[in-house]
Amino acid sequence: MTSATLLLGLALQSPPPDSGRTLYREWCSSCHGEDARGVGRSSARLEVPATDLAGCAVSSAEPEDLWVAIVRDGGASVGLSMDMPAFGEGATVEQLQAIIRYIKSLCGETGWPPGELNLPRPLLAEKAFPENEVVIETRGRVQELIYERRIGRRLQIEGVARMLADSAGGFHSATAAVKYNAWHSLARRALASVGLEVTPPLKAQRLWEIEPYVAYGANPGGGATVIQGELVAPWEETEGVTGAELRLGIGRQIDRVVPMLEAGWTVPREGQQEFALFPQTWIQLSRLGHVAASIGVEIPLAGTAPRTARLLAFVL
């Protein structure tokens, strides 16, 4: 066979893959709208409105694989409306990927950190990804209610209220924070953010405390391993910078569970260094991963802190 007939044969066997845009128009636009803004010809028949897939905040937040899976298996497969049909029987993975890539291209803006980089929240280190979430956290005797709100592409503001969980009870202290995603790369599966936490003198907190930090997250090769870390330089009203704190953790995703091990190392300007390990397990509770919990312990190995293990846990 000459190479020309071989090429002709190949061309006939594998027609060029349909473009994401054409397939979107044919299969999705009746509900999600020609422009993917969520209003299509059939919208009136839907019990739940079809999602606006074109908005950057929505389309950047979910990883491509998750959206491909929703379109393949249908909305009900992840607890969304049954009105979102399953296309798995009639479509190839390549077609579904082409559609999702087309939808994600509609955002048209750069700078939105992609959902692939939204790694499971560690107990100790600050997460680098900007989030919209409410977290209830227990750290030994102190309970924290954390509210995080995204603003635009890269910014997140945060408020924390702490309460004492024992018989003394009542308000403990409060913190306000901002976080900015300074850098992210989907190709390198990594991101870095800078932030500032401010704790005013209120109730149990006697002096102003300011904590600038850098947070880093990576998921090498998009595989099961996650690495997250944070460097903090705490500053106190009368003392200035009191030292440095390094937090570093590694975890491995096993289906919906991510066991992680974090280490926390505190190097004060004066006094004894502290070192502790934080074995923990993160568990995804909802199928979309928007509800999760984590439980772990603090095991102090060196330092002035009482050498007893502390229980830490959160739900978000």
Residues that bind ligand HEC (CB under 6 A): 27-28, 30-32, 42, 46, 48, 50-51, 53, 62, 67, 70-71, 75, 80-81, 83-85, 87, 99
Query: What single-letter DSSP state applies at residue 127?
Result: P
CB of 97 to ligand HEC, least distance (A): 10
Q: How far apart are CA 297 and CA 141, in angstroms?
A: 13
The tokens describing 47, both together, are 């019990």
Residue type, 79: G
Please report how close the Cβ of residue 17 comes to ligand HEC at its closest, in angstroms: 15
How many Cα atoms within 13 Å fall on the side-chain side of residue 258? 26
Give 149's strand partners: 157
| Region at 313 (left for phi over 0; alpha for psi -120 to 50; beta for the rest) | beta
Q: How far is the CB of 84 from ligand HEC (least distance, A)?
A: 3
Q: How far is CA 268 from the centre of its chain?
A: 31
For the bound state, the minimum distance from the C-beta of residue 26 to ligand HEC, rounded and expressed in Å, comes to: 8
Distance separating alpha carbons of residues 215 and 288, to the nearest angstrom? 25
In the chain, count H helices and then E strands: 6, 14
CB of 66 to ligand HEC, least distance (A): 7
**Closest CB to ligand HEC belongs to which residue?**
28
Q: Which is nearer to ligand HEC, 60 or 266 (CB)?
A: 60
